[in-house]
C-alpha cells in the first residue's frame, strides 16, 4: 500500500518496542529484570479512582467541551497560578489526551513547513518525531556530561536562525534526570526573549525531585518570557495516572483556541469521567505524590550506589524524574549492541541511548521494586565485567 510520505519521516518508538520485547520474554516465564519503564509502578491513588468511579455512576459518560470540563480547566489554572506563579485563567488551558498529545497538538498549531524547533539532546524521543509529523524541522543541540547535559545560553543563541520558532525545554528531564537551576533557566529565558522565540516547557516531572533540587517554571521569570511560554503538563507521572491519558497545555488564549479547534476535529474531549479523577488529583491531598516521591528517592539512592561500584560505567546523579542515564562509552559498544547483549546474556532490559540522541549512553528506570534493582545491578555488574 502506498502510504503518506510523512510516515517515512518518523521512526517507531524504540522504548515501546524494547519494553514490549522484555514483557514478551517475561510472559514466557523468563526471569527478566526490566528497567525500561517510563511510568511509575504504583497504582493510581484510591481517592482519584473513587472520584472517577463516582463520575461514572453519576452519568458523566457523554461528550463534553473539546477543551475539557470547565471545572478541571479552572483547577489547572488555579494550580499554575498558586504553585507556579503563572498568571493563567481557564481560557488559557486545554485538557488533552496526555502530555504527549499536548505537545503534538502544539506542533500542529504552531509550525509551518520548514519552521525550526530547537531540541537539546539527550531528548525525550517523541519531540523530534512530532515536529517532523507537523512539517517542522527539528534542530538538535548536543549536550553532554561536561555541561551536566544542559544546553547553555551560548549554544541556544548559536542554534537560532531566521526560521527558529520554538525551544523545547524539559526540566526535570527524561532521560537524564537533570534539573536546571533557577539561574540557568533565567539565562536561557533571556536568550528566548532576545531572539523572540517561543518556549514550550514540558513540566511532566515537576513533582519528582530529590535533595535540594527545586522546580521553577520558566514562564514565571517575568512578563516578557511569560508571553513566550507554553506549558505542557499532565497527571501521568506525578499521580501515577499514565493509562488515564490526561494532560494539558497552557498558553496564550489564541493558541489555546487554535489547539481547541484542532482537537475539536480530531480527538474531541478527553474521556469525561477520567477528567473527574484529575480534578480530585489536583484538589485532594498531595500526600500520595510525596510518598511516591520518597519511594523513588530510596530506589535512586540504591541504584546509584550499586552503579557507582561498577567499573567502566559512569553516570551523573539525577536530581529529578526516575531515570539514570549511564555513559557506556568505555565499553566501545553502541547503545543498541549494549542493550541487546545485556538482555540476551543477563536478561536485563534497558533503553539504548540512541533513542534519545545519545548513542554512548543507556537509560535505566528505577520505577521498579528494590528487589529487581538489587538483582538487576548484580547482573549488570557481571555483564560489564565480561566486556573488559
Ligand X SMILES: *Cc1c(COP(=O)(O)O)cnc(C)c1O
Binding site for ligand X (CB under 6 A): 38, 98-100, 124, 170, 174, 202, 204, 234, 236-237, 242, 247
Q: Are 139 and 164 in contact (CB under 8 A)?
A: yes
Torsion, Cα 63 68 72 76, to 10 degrees, reads 170
Nearer Cβ to ligand X (73/384): 73
Nearer Cβ to ligand X (234/251): 234
Stated as kind and residue range, the H or E segment containing 142 is: strand 137-142
User: Is the backbone peptide bond immediately before 175 cis, with ω within 30 degrees of 0?
Assistant: yes
Question: Widest CA span of the chain, in angstroms?
Answer: 63
Helix (H, G, I), strand (E, B) or coil at 80: helix
Task: Number of helices (H) and strands (E) in the chain: give both, helices first.
Answer: 14, 13
CB closest to ligand X, residue no: 98
Nearer Cβ to ligand X (79/383): 79
Nearer Cβ to ligand X (48/236): 236
Residue 256 CB, nearest approach to ligand X (Å):
18
| Cα→Cα distances 233→162, 199, 263, 361, Å | 28, 14, 17, 26
Residue 232 CB, nearest approach to ligand X (Å):
7
Torsion, Cα 23 24 28 30, to 10 degrees, reads -50
177-187: burial string, b at 16+ Cβ within 10 Å, e else: bbbbbeebbbe
Nearer Cβ to ligand X (98/136): 98
Residue 204 CB, nearest approach to ligand X (Å):
4
Residue 363 CB, nearest approach to ligand X (Å):
11
Residue 39 CB, nearest approach to ligand X (Å):
7
Residue 381 CB, nearest approach to ligand X (Å):
27
Between vectors from CA 107 to CA 103 and to CA 108, what angle results, nearest 5°?
Answer: 115
Nearer Cβ to ligand X (38/120): 38
Amino acid at each position: 500500500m502506498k502510504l503518506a510520505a510523512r510516515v517515512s519521516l518518523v521512526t517507531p518508538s524504540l522504548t515501546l518496542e524494547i519494553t514490549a520485547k522484555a514483557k514478551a520474554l517475561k510472559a514466557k516465564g523468563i526471569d527478566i529484570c526490566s528497567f525500561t519503564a517510563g511510568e511509575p509502578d504504583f497504582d493510581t491513588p484510591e481517592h482519584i479512582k473513587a472520584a472517577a468511579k463516582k463520575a461514572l455512576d453519576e452519568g458523566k459518560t457523554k461528550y463534553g467541551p473539546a477543551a475539557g470540563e470547565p471545572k478541571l480547566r479552572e483547577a489547572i489554572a488555579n494550580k499554575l497560578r498558586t504553585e507556579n506563579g503563572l498568571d493563567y485563567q481557564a481560557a488559557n488551558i486545554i485538557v488533552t489526551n496526555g502530555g504527549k498529545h499536548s505537545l503534538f497538538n502544539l506542533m500542529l498549531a504552531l509550525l509551518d513547513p520548514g519552521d525550526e524547533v530547537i531540541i537539546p539532546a539527550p531528548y525525550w524521543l517523541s519531540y523530534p518525531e512530532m515536529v517532523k509529523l507537523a512539517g517542522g524541522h527539528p534542530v538538535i543541540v548536543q549536550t553532554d556530561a561536561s555541561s551536566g547535559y544542559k544546553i547553555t545560553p551560548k549554544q541556544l543563541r548559536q542554534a537560532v536562525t531566521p526560521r527558529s520558532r520554538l525551544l523545547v525545554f524539559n526540566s526535570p528531564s527524561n532521560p537524564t534526570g537533570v534539573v536546571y537551576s533557577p539561574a540557568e533557566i533565567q539565562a536561557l529565558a533571556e536568550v528566548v526573549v532576545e531572539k523572540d522565540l517561543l518556549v514550550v516547557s514540558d513540566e511532566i516531572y515537576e513533582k519528582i525531585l530529590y535533595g535540594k533540587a527545586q522546580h521553577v517554571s520558566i514562564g514565571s521569570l517575568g512578563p516578557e518570557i511569560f508571553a513566550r511560554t507554553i506549558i505542557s503538563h499532565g497527571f501521568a507521572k506525578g499521580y501515577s495516572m499514565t493509562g488515564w491519558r490526561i494532560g494539558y497545555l497552557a498558553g496564550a488564549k489564541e493558541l489555546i483556541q487554535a489547539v481547541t479547534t484542532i482537537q475539536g476535529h480530531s480527538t474531541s474531549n478527553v474521556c469525561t469521567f477520567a477528567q473527574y479523577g484529575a480534578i480530585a488529583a489536583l484538589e485532594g491531598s498531595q500526600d500520595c505524590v510525596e510518598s511516591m516521591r520518597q519511594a523513588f528517592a530510596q530506589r535512586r539512592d540504591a541504584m546509584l550506589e550499586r552503579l557507582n561500584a561498577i567499573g567502566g560505567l559512569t553516570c551523573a546523579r539525577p536530581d529529578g524524574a526516575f531515570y539514570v542515564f549511564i555513559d557506556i562509552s568505555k565499553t566501545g559498544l553502541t547503545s543498541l549492541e549494549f542493550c541487546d547483549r545485556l538482555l540476551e546474556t543477563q536478561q536485563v532490559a534497558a533503553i539504548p541511548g540512541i533513542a534519545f540522541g545519545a548513542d554512548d549512553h543507556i537509560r535505566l528506570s528505577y520505577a521498579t521494586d528494590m528487589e529487581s534493582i538489587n538483582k538487576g545491578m548484580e547482573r549488570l555488574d557481571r555483564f560489564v565485567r565480561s566486556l573488559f
